[in-house]
Amino acid sequence: MADTKNEMLETSEAQIAAHWKEEEYYYPTAKFISQANLVDHDVDKRFSLENFPENFKEYADLLDWYKYWHTTLDTSNPPFWRWFVGGQLNVSYNCIDRHLPKNKGKAAIIFVPELENDPPLAITYQELYVRVNETAALLREFAGLKKGDRVTIHMPMVPELPITMLACARLGVIHSVVFGGFSGMACGDRIADSGSRVLITMDGYYRNGQVQDQKEKADIAVAQAKGLGAEVDKVLVWRRRQGKNLSVTPMLKGRDYFMDEILKDYKGKRVAPVPVAAEDPLFLMYTSGTTGKPKGIQHSTGGYLAYVTGTAKYILDIHPEDIYWCMADIGWITGHSYIVYGPLALGTTSLIYEGVPTYPDAGRPWRVAEQLDVNIFHTAPTAIRQLRKLGPEEPRKYNHHFKLMVTVGEPIEPNVWRWYYDEVGKKEAVIVDTWWQTENGGFLCSTKPALNPMKPGSAGPGVPGIHPVVYDEKGNELPPGAERAGNVCIRNPWPGIMQTIWGEPERYVQTYYAKYCKNQQSKDWKDWPYFAGDGALYAGDGYIRILGRVDDVINVAGHRLGTKELESACLTVPEVAEAAVVPVIDPIKGRVPEVYIALKPGVTTDPKEIQKKVISAIENIIGKMARPSHVWVSEDMPKTRSGKIMRRVLTAVSNNMPVGDVTTLANPEIVEHIKIMVQSQTKRTPAGETPDDIKRFGQNE
């Protein structure tokens, strides 16, 4: 129970009016418009709420169905929406087989290894068909997998990753891809939660020019899963280089198998695609939330594939002849939807790059684009900032031409946006700033590339069929032009929305719908707005400007990390009594986590030792991408009188912002101690305009 004064303080802060300079519009070129997939101004009418839900038939009709559905949307059990009920399809068929009659010789995937001397590898649709079939045969016969089973995949950015995913989809096996950068322990937690008996990994890969051992994480993952009661009986290991093993870990007899060796037995095998119901799950993707336990976001087959295919066509403007490059990792939702499923369903050529954008230098992406004639480019603000910092004039040196560029994952600063537009896009590319989340399957807000002008820093209106609404804390609508930040929600269900949280339906309802549902008995979808967990401003022109998370999630270089997960990792260090993790503004990564810890009484260990232990605990339990910028060791934490740690105060200190009124705290004096410690050891200048998520951070405490 927070005491009232603190609660008031926090509420008023959450409702703080935000003012920012309106940016000038930018317009798509006539050349872009003349070739765009979506030029029809009627689209908004077609996708209006009056035409909901039948409007989404337009997307489902982009797919091939074994059996056409009888009910577009079943809302009889809100908020468990069921799309395209009665329909049957197969994702692997839609992404591969149906393209063969006309395009078997066309590149489906072009793999660009990180080492620049290794040539790109093109995989045609026919080759993809063969490899997916053989892999599916192995998964079915050797690994004993069948429809509805779960498989955990922990792999780097290599073609074998989509091949494995598509092989699962061919069988109706539910894949759970864990981002390759996650630690073995994090992978093990996800194996156990999903109940996977099989783990698929790779020996190693290249990152920043170095070989990374991936297989070593598998042993830790299996042990961690076992500790949680989940037995993995097979670990299937792809090899990055034929005939070599990039991992030093021994292969465990009877458990670990090299994929290339077993695949020999399945050469030339074909597996008929298994028709699955539109409502059967296609995959799970774990993501962070307010509590420590990651949520297994469950996505459907029919609704999901229809939605990513439709949005890839209209918003990414993918045509069959495009060369499309999304630099995200396939281990995140962006990669699932917009490297693998959307682009391949449209029969395009999707490029997969193994490594970091700035290896060996900040000209690499533009060389790749020039060499392979990429014309659609998709990345995140953190990469754009890094490329701009290290090579502001690099793009000029290359003769690449993008017709469309995407930014996704975090808010983009208007001047970073302008560099992207002027330098990378050479003032000819349209930019779409697409706002969405793991839970959503595909885009929620973005400009329609040929129809709406761009506005730097703003995502734009809802994409076709998505009707956003911004509510204040009390549930009042903040209409366009309200000039006050609120919580962005979506009024209506859409085909790409998650089905549930794996094994936690109650948590699904609570997290995404409870806040603004007026009547939980209601069967009317209109009573169930989807709560996204982001603060936003609704501008007069109907454009949404995303301000950041309103919950305890930190967006670090586009990686979504839960503070509670980081804090529980800190608490595994025996000397640590309490831990609090807060976001700090970072010019490249957007936000980085900073850790505060209080030691158990009587501990005399050197604080430097403790800092090291805390950092390695975080790296081992979560992954290197979660490494904090600082670990501050303090004798106590600022607390409310009811004993809750005031993360908001620590966030303020870390970001050199005013801490506000702390007199109601149980121990106000500690704030001064912490301030002196932090300010004496960092040369932080006061933050300029403070993003909304930093302002609000910890308000739940």
Q: Which helix (H) or strand (E) holds 286?
A: strand 281-287
Q: What are the structure tokens assigned to 565, written together?
A: 């997960």
Among 125, 179, 436, 531, which residue interacts with ligand WT7 (rule: CB under 6 A)?
Answer: 436
Q: Which is nearer to ligand WT7, 377 or 435 (CB)?
A: 435
Single out the segment in contact with ligand WT7 by CB under 6 A; choices: 3-11, 54-62, 423-431, 546-554: 546-554
198/285 with CB nearer ligand WT7: 285
Whole-angstrom Cα distance, residue 63 to residue 86? 15
Beta-bridged to residue 513, according to DSSP, are: none
Q: What is the dihedral of CA 557, 679, 657, 388, to 10 degrees?
A: -30
Measured from the CB atom, the residue of 434 and 492 that comes closer to ligand WT7 is 434
Stretch that binds ligand WT7, among 146-154, 209-217, 429-437, 522-530 (CB under 6 A): 429-437
Nearer to ligand WT7, 204 or 411 (CB): 411
| 220 burial level (CB within 10 Å; 0-12, 13-18, 19+) | middle
Contact 304, 282 (CB under 8 A): yes
**Number of neighbours of residue 573 by Cβ within 10 angstroms:** 21
Give the number of other Cβ atoms within 10 Å of residue 16's Cβ: 13
Give the long-range contacts of residues 48-56, CB within 8 A, separation 24 or more: 49/467, 49/491, 49/492, 52/465, 52/492, 53/83, 53/492, 53/493, 55/464, 55/465, 56/83, 56/306, 56/307, 56/310, 56/465, 56/494, 56/495
Cis amide leading into 668 (omega within 30): no
Q: What are phi and psi of 176, to 5 degrees?
A: -130, 95
Binders of ligand WT7 among residues 550 to 589 (CB under 6 A) are: 555, 560
Q: Where does residue 553 rank: exposed (0-12), middle (13-18), buried (19+ CB within 10 A)?
A: buried
Q: Which is nearer to ligand WT7, 277 or 406 (CB)?
A: 406
665 token code pair: 């705290």
What is the spatial distance between Cα 557 and Cα 588, in angstroms, rounded to a whole number? 8
Interacting span for ligand WT7 (CB under 6 A) from 3-11, 113-121, 436-444, 609-617? 436-444
Question: By CB under 6 A, is residue 382 in contact with ligand WT7?
Answer: no
- 593 sits near ligand WT7 (criterion: CB under 6 A): no
Per CB under 6 A, 311 contacts ligand WT7: no
Site for ligand WT7 in 443-502 (CB under 6 A): 459
d(CA 69, CA 87) in angstroms, rounded, equals 4
Shortest distance, position 374 Cβ to ligand WT7, whole Å: 20
Q: Which of 92, 301, 334, 499 binds ligand WT7 (CB under 6 A)?
A: 334
- Would you count residue 511 as binding ligand WT7 (CB under 6 A)? no
For ligand WT7, the closer CB: 355 or 562? 562
Q: 595 has which bridge partners?
A: 581, 631
Residue 549 Cβ vs ligand WT7, minimum distance, rounded to whole Å: 5
Tell me how far, at minimum, the Cβ of 555 lies from ligand WT7, in Å. Answer: 5
Count of residues making up the chain: 701
**Residue from the set 84, 435, 538, 697 that interacts with ligand WT7 by CB under 6 A:** 435
Among 160, 193, 433, 551, binds ligand WT7 (CB under 6 A): 433
Smallest CA-to-CA distance from 332 within 494, 156, 473, 75 is with 156
What's the min distance (Å) between Cβ of 437 and ligand WT7?
4
Least Å distance between CB 5 and ligand WT7? 29
Q: According to CB under 6 A, which one of 53, 411, 529, 638 is a site residue for ligand WT7? A: 411
Count Cβ neighbours within 10 Å for each residue of 667-679 and write b for 16 or more, e otherwise: eeebbeebbeebe
By CB under 6 A, the count of residues binding ligand WT7 is 22
Judged by beta carbon, residue 105 or residue 587, the one nearer ligand WT7 is: 587
Among 181, 342, 391, 409, binds ligand WT7 (CB under 6 A): 409
Question: Residue 467: which of 55, 120, 31 has the closest Cα?
Answer: 55
From the CB of 497, what's the least distance to ligand WT7, in Å?
13
User: 514-518 long-range contacts, Cβ below 8 Å, gap at least 24?
Assistant: 515/487, 516/471, 516/475, 516/487, 516/489, 517/79, 518/475
**182 makes contact with ligand WT7 (CB under 6 A):** no
Tell which positions 618-677 bind ligand WT7, by CB under 6 A: none
Q: Where are the beta strands (DSSP E) in 484-618?
A: 486-490, 500-501, 530-538, 544-549, 553-556, 559-562, 576-586, 590-599
Between 143 and 445, name the residue whose CB sits nearer to ligand WT7: 445
Answer yes or no whether residue 408 interacts with ligand WT7 by CB under 6 A. Answer: yes
Closest separation between CB of residue 270 and ligand WT7, Å?
35
537 binds ligand WT7 (CB under 6 A): no
Closest to ligand WT7 by CB, 331 or 628: 331
Interaction between residue 318 and ligand WT7 (CB under 6 A): no
Q: Which string of x and - marks every residue 265-294 that binds ligand WT7 (by CB under 6 A)?
A: ----------------------x-------
Which residues here bind ligand WT7, judged by CB under 6 A?
A: 287, 333-334, 408-411, 433-438, 459, 532-534, 546, 548-549, 555, 560
